[in-house]
Amino acid sequence: MIIAVIALGLLAGASGLLLGFAAIRFKVEGDPMVQQIDSVLPQTQCGQCGYAGCRPYAEAIAAGEADINLCPPGGQNGITALAELLGRDPKSLDPASGIEKPKMAAVIDEQRCIGCTLCIQACPVDAIIGAAKHMHTVLVGECTGCELCLAPCPVDCIQMVPFAPTVTTWKWTYPVVEVKAAA
């Protein structure tokens, strides 16, 4: 009898813990709409939209405070995707927030870097590594091209370099159909 009570008690306790853990682990975070919008944004985290990152911008869109055409890295495709998601008409990018540019990555001129760590503090995705007074390097694979590290650098040794196409990233282009006047 007592054993049964203890067993049941333990079982109840265990499942309670499990549930509690699950509640924390699988918590539905925030508003699913915000999440959906966020998943469409390019995650460059550059702040050109006027918000502190992609998620705050997503929240603003969901709340109806911001228009959908403020994100330059997302470009026209991003705006179209947002318009589709929200059932609105697509529009063109607001020139006030910036212009659409090819994808780029930051490169630090390692000769000139003085190891001030200012860029590390600016990088929204921790893509710059290096310790104080030591030369810093950008992890090209992680850099989102947000350009936030350019301004803080006291010696202007960071440059944005566009991604050059390689044989693995090269793409077939949209066919240019020449409609020639028949002779």
Partner 1 sequence: MRFKTVTSPHLHQQTGVNQVMRRVLYAMVPGITALVWFFGWGILINLALATVMALGAEAAMLAARSKPLALHLGDYSAVVTAWLLAVALPPLAPWWMTVIGILAAIVVAKHLYGGLGYNPFNPAMIGYVVLLISFPREMSAWLIPHGIGQPHALSLLDTLQIIFGGAGSLPIDALTGATPLDVLRTQLGLGQTVAEIRNSPVFGIVAGRGWEWATAGFLTGGLWLIYTRTAAWQIPAGLLGGLAVMATAFYLIDPQHYAPPWFHLWSGAAIFGAFFIATDPVTASTTPRGRLIYGAGIGILIYLIRGFGGYPDGVAFSVLLMNIAAPTIDLYTRPRVFGERQP
Partner 2 sequence: MSALFPFHGGLKTVRHKTESNQTRIWTAMLPPRLTVPLRQHIGAIAKPLVQPGDRVLKGQMIGQPDGYISAAIHAPTSGIVSAVDPQPVAHPSGLADLCVTIESDGEDRWINRQPVNYPHLHPSELRNVIRNAGVVGLGGAAFPSAVKLNPSGRSERLDTLILNGAECEPWITCDDRLMRERAADIVAGLQIMAYLLGPYEVMIGIEDDKPEAIAAMSAACVRTGYMVCPIPTRYPSGSVKQLVRLLTGKEIPVDGLPVDVGVQCFNVATAYTVHRAVNFGEPVISRIITVTGQVHGPGNFEVLIGTPFAALIAQCGGYREGVERLILGGPMMGFALHSDDAPVTKAANCLLAVGPAELAPELPVLPCIRCGACMDVCPADLLPQQLYWHARAKEFDQARDCHLFSCIECGCCSVVCPSHIPLVQYYRYAKNEIWALEKEKQRAEQARQRHQARMERLEREKQEREAKLRQKAPRVEVVASSGKQEG
- Judged by beta carbon distances under 5 to 8 A according to partner kind, the member of ligand SF4, partner 1, partner 2, none in contact with residue 46 is ligand SF4
d(CA 45, CA 146): 6
Could you say whether residue 177 binds partner 1 (CB under 8 A)?
no
Cβ neighbour number for residue 28 with a 10 Å cutoff: 8
73, 106, 147, 148: residue in contact with ligand SF4 (rule CB under 6 A): 73
d(CA 38, CA 16): 33
Could you say whether residue 181 binds partner 1 (CB under 8 A)?
yes
- Residue 169 C-beta: closest distance to partner 1, Å: 18
Q: Of 102, 142, 99, 97, whose CA–CA distance to 124 is shortest?
A: 142
Rounded to 5 degrees, what are φ and ψ at 114? -100, 5
Of 17-25, 41-49, 59-67, 106-114, which segment contacts partner 2 by CB under 8 A?
Answer: 41-49
What are the residues binding partner 1 (CB under 8 A)?
Answer: 172, 175, 179-183
